[in-house]
Amino acid sequence: MEYVNLGRTGLKVSPLCLGTMNFGPQTAEADAHAIMDKALELGINFFDTANRYGRWGDTTGYHGLTEEIIGRWFAQGGGRREKVVLATKVYGPMGDGPNDRGLSARHIKHACEASLKRLQTDYIDIYQMHHVDRATPWEEIWQAMEQLVREGKILYVGSSNFAGWHIARANEIAKQRDFMGLVSEQSLYNLATRNIETDVAPACQEYGMGIIPWSPLGGGLLGGVLKKIKEGRRAFDHLQKQVEEKRAQIEAYEAFCKELGEEPAAAALAWLLHRPAVTAPIIGPRTMEQLTGASLRAVELKLDAGALAKLDEIWPGFKTAPEDYAW
């Protein structure tokens, strides 16, 4: 595994990030622990989670469960915590009170301390804002993050689901405070969903931030979905609708992957690794097989200019703003 810098930082991470959202709701704890052990064995040292992970719907668990599963894995020792670059998130509601959510200084403090306890660690490598809080001024947010850095509870700050102007605003105010600001942005980004190319990706490049794409396979759309349906595997209802809407593109994509001699999932992940500012797509395996399959091939797969042009032809992207919608 060849490690890369996270954006402009000196932090070295694997070019694939292990997403843990399935740990708890869909993956039993023992299996999750085995997957994390295997990820480290394969050289994947970048793990992503969130304080909200662990609950799907109203009855399948509770918020914080995923962090607890990771914490119990760290507690097994063997250098597990020291080997992992750990990212978690703050923003979503973690209780019924009016201050149990958002990015107020109070909630950031309490949420961070709760995450540290669940994760059984004394620091978080990358503390990510899961969403923009339009009701809290940046001066307050940065004051809270600066305090956590001083206390050694977090090392870097990242964002998730920000617009380009949010990234610019946040970093400019951080600069005024002589604070490092945002080092990464976690965004929805894949061949079929390329909206961030208008302003988010250029903003990340300008500020030296690493892009961490979530849903890199479009929820399964880019993972050989037609082949799987043909084999009798049932697609989720929402995915089935997308398949019908984009069938011509998916057929062209899977046919091209066949020409390349590559699995669609590997090609989709490899394409992201060729994109400017992308550090590490998040892979969220539910099973060991999903971890050790096409994901690892993506790291080795080099797409030439012809292949990249063909993928752009099948899945058209965006120009940077304002050229995308103006002259």
What was the pLDDT predicted at 293?
Answer: 83
Regarding pTM above 0.85, the answer is yes
Q: Tell me: pLDDT of 128 over 60.
A: yes
Dihedrals phi, psi of 126, to nearest 5 degrees:
-130, 110
For residues 30-54, give the mean pLDDT.
97
Total domains present in the chain: 1
Q: Which of 42, 51, 54 is nearest to 86 (CA)?
A: 51
Q: Mean of the pLDDT values across residues 141-148?
A: 98
Residue 213 lies in a domain: yes
253 is catalytic: no
pLDDT at 99: 96
| 265 vs 268: CA distance, rounded Å | 5
Is residue 323 one of the residues assigned to a domain? Answer: no
Annotated catalytic residue, options 53, 91, 156, 189: 53
Question: Is the residue at 299 inside a domain?
Answer: yes
Residue 122 in any domain: the answer is yes
- The boundaries of the domain holding residue 210 are 4-223+265-304
CATH (domain of 172): 3.20.20.100
- Sheet with strand 182-188: strands edge to edge: 210-214, 182-188, 154-160, 124-129, 85-90, 46-48, 17-19, 282-283
Residue 113 lies in a domain: yes
User: Residue 325: inside a domain, yes or no?
Assistant: no
d(CA 31, CA 37): 10
The CA radius of gyration of the chain, in Å to the nearest whole number, is 20
Question: Does pLDDT of 60 surpass 80?
Answer: no
| Of 2-11, 292-301, 307-316, the least confident | 292-301
Q: Is residue 200 part of a domain?
A: yes
Instruction: Give the pLDDT mean for 122-150.
Output: 98
pLDDT for residue 59 is more than 50:
no
Domain-located, residue 251: no
